[in-house]
A = this chain, B = another copy of it.
Amino acid sequence: MEQLKERIRKDGRVIGNDILKVDSFLNHQIDPALTDAIGAEFYRLFSAEKVDRVLTIEASGIAAAVMTAKYFGCPLVFAKKSRTVNQSASVYTSKAFSFTHKTESNVIVSKEYIKPGENVLIIDDFLANGCALRALRDIVLQAGANPVGAGIIIEKAFQPGGKDLRSEGLRIESLARIKSMSEQNGVEFI
């Protein structure tokens, strides 16, 4: 998605060789027009699928996911993150380790909001090691639902999550795939 890549080139800040700060338009401040265009692009990419539900994880996936769900005309569910385990029989839980924060979170979705047999499209802002995406897919499978694919805004393609999950059969569409990045040379896309 050229508009997104241009914005990353213009406003993204690379720290070291693996941190990309996009706080100014995606993760803390959000550009609603860009976010709407991202939702439209995910709709275009997955429009051949029957999507019953969009699933994301709090907090920074929510804005793009609500725009995507608006185009599909289906509900959005956002998984909650919690440091404490919710033992309730009414929820699906999985675990995701955050390499950014060096913490493990429980990822939680109420059983009411994913039903067996549904087609679920997963949306998230970043894909790097794939921990969050793996947890979301796990919850879809626990529900007996079908993960039709994952729409990712920015994929760090030099980290293994995308390759691993694609090889396991998950369809992943990333709007900007980063081949490499450095403070000196900025971001290079695939």
Contact = CB atoms under 8 A, between A and B. Distances in A.
A45 to B, nearest CB: 18
Nearest to A70: B32
Given A24-B113, A110-B23, A30 B73 contact: no
Scoring A36, A69, A74, A110 by chain B CB atoms within 10 A of each residue's CB, the highest score goes to A69
B113 A28 contact: yes
B63 A30 contact: no
A80 interface: yes
Contacts of A69: 30, 32
A140 to B, nearest CB: 15
A80 to B, nearest CB: 7
A10 to B, nearest CB: 15
Interface string A14-38: 0000000001110011111101100
A7 to B, nearest CB: 13
A183 interface: no
Interface in A92-113: 109-110, 112-113
Given A59-B58, A59-B62, A62-B59, A29 B67 contact: no
A58 B69 CA distance: 19
Contact of A66 (B23, B35, B74): B35
A66 B70 CA distance: 12
19 contacts: A23-B110, A24-B112, A24-B113, A28-B77, A28-B80, A29-B75, A29-B76, A29-B77, A30-B75, A31-B75, A32-B66, A32-B69, A32-B70, A32-B73, A35-B66, A58-B58, A59-B59, A63-B66, A66-B67
